[in-house]
Structure 1
């Protein structure tokens, strides 16, 4: 059996965070279910560096990377590709916070899978990597965020048969001047793993009329208003979607929002005229869509003063940060160690 020698190539992959703003249908009558809505976030991401090695390794604090590498070795048949059995060393340069509703698991899996594929010159797609690593079973928003960025709607997963990752059926650019103000509660985590799966199984039937209303809300209000950069109409549509989905999940997460502190902050923002308010995925991270950088900074400073200053009256501190939407997907850089200036990515 021919084996190639390990190269000195390194691959860097950056995978952006995403907001998951809700599902459209939980029923079993239309052939497909779920159907996700979400937004790619700029400035908040996972970035890893991958190199061939004599054994699989990853940085301390990232135990889930090693199982991913083992799956990829089997699925890609990497043991035939070099004398070290296709082993990879992963260095995590930064990462999306885990279990706070920003897609950390999917983005880490996509980053690792795409880095390994590029490291061994394998032609594959993010959707293929996601399927190999068992990501994107319910929602294609995270994969779409990695592929192309922007504001995304996926077409749900097939009820019968395996349709793979839910397809992105709409992608619109998010206005460059709009901002997303995120509300972090570092004392809490959203449902994940087995608890998340159990929660989905225990949810009551979702009324068909409610699903129809949410589909109309997204197709006839949210998407056209986003295309027209009408933040009042877009924000109202997203808030209505969030209220419906939050109330449906309330029995699983303890209320419309997973964190009472974030819920209080979101109500505070709403009282100051903000729109496009909700929780990403299972939370606890909340979001507010804001019409400009100036307005976002005013709200940011006021919120920090109220929650983390004397005005908070003993409230548990929250973190607030302002981001832009991201209208491009993840990025991959390859570095070949064959020249003195190899630090420049190609």
Structure 2
């Protein structure tokens, strides 16, 4: 007769994030970076974790999931093993924050299954996340549009200064290159170290754009003014990072071509998320987004690119408890 054993599993859905730029790469005031970004409702990482006899992971990004399990167990002194099923994963190294969302999802699930609850400002650094930006951690926690205060002398992630809802009607068109990856890992560390110094004037201008244009326009749902600020921030930050991207503000210049064409047809706030290659534009309504998608999806495809319509996500990661039944002899 078959025996049935019930196991508790935790399912986590974690949102991608867009990193819209830095405010201060000068650092004279004792803080550096200062990020702006937002959570989006797609793509997302969806995984489930349950206790097991030995560590096992399946699905996309399974190797990274196994490393995350080993890391969280050692860091927090957890006992036992875990089985991770990754049902869907944010594309890796595409500028969408995949590594942070996977690490936080695995760690959160493993800790809760072990009866441990730790705040994300503890989990993030332990999982080696939030070293420069708090956007990914904040997106996992609450979603929305986020501004952080940059990295000071502390090892803690940057403090979140603003976290507010994205207008429900707005849409973002992502411009994806599924065949390429942006700068990451050791190359990213080296690229930051090699960047030219940013002038205090530029840092002040970027901070001014964020505080006095982008954020109030967002809160008033003024997409034209918001988009103007984001485009200007992206232009300035893109110039600064061009030396690490072959002289271009875009890791894939074809992404920039499509973004500019979308802007000519009414999209605003164009740019590249993080190191790319993912690009983005903002539009005011879902209908406008679909009209632009229909007009440019084939042209994007001819360049090896893909368009995706997404919305801002005003909630963080979703964690659900599920009971699974295993049948044995």
Given the two structures, how large is their TM-score scaled by the length of structure 1?
Answer: 0.89
Which residue is equivalent to 2:122?
Answer: 128
Is residue 7–residue 52 contact of structure 1 (8 Å, CA) maintained in 2? no
Shift of 1:258: 0.7
Is residue 136–residue 165 contact of structure 1 (8 Å, CA) maintained in 2? yes
Is residue 134–residue 160 contact of structure 2 (8 Å, CA) maintained in 1? yes
Which residue is equivalent to 1:47?
Answer: 46
For 1:187 and 1:64, how far apart are their aligned partners in 2? 19
1:190 aligns with 2:182: yes
For 1:71 and 1:266, how far apart are their aligned partners in 2? 39
1:330 aligns with 2:324: no
Is residue 46–residue 96 contact of structure 1 (8 Å, CA) maintained in 2? yes
For 1:336 and 1:319, how far apart are their aligned partners in 2? 37
Which residue is equivalent to 1:263?
Answer: 256
For 1:67 and 1:232, how far apart are their aligned partners in 2? 43
Shift of 1:172: 1.5
Q: Following superposition of structure 1 onto structure 2, how do residues 64-75 of structure 1 map, counting pairs within 5 Å?
A: 64-75=64-75
Any stretches of 5+ residues in structure 1 without a counterpart? Answer: 1-5, 80-85, 309-314, 339-346
1:320 aligns with 2:307: yes
More strand by share: 2
Q: What's the CA shift string for 1:70-110, capped at 9, x where partnerless?
A: 1211122113xxxxxx2111000111001110000000000
Which residue is equivalent to 2:218?
Answer: 226
Any stretches of 5+ residues in structure 2 without a counterpart? Answer: none
**Local SS of the residue matching 1:152:** strand
C-alpha RMSD over aligned residues = 1.5
Q: Following superposition of structure 1 onto structure 2, how do residues 83-162 of structure 1 map, counting pairs within 5 Å?
A: 86-158=80-152, 160-162=153-155
For 1:225 and 1:193, how far apart are their aligned partners in 2? 35
Which residue is equivalent to 1:216?
Answer: 208
For 1:46 and 1:227, how far apart are their aligned partners in 2? 28
For 2:63 and 2:324, how far apart are their aligned partners in 1? 28
Candidates 280, 283, 292, aligned match of 1:299: 292
**Local SS of the residue matching 1:32:** coil
Higher relative contact order (CA 8 A, sep 6+): 2
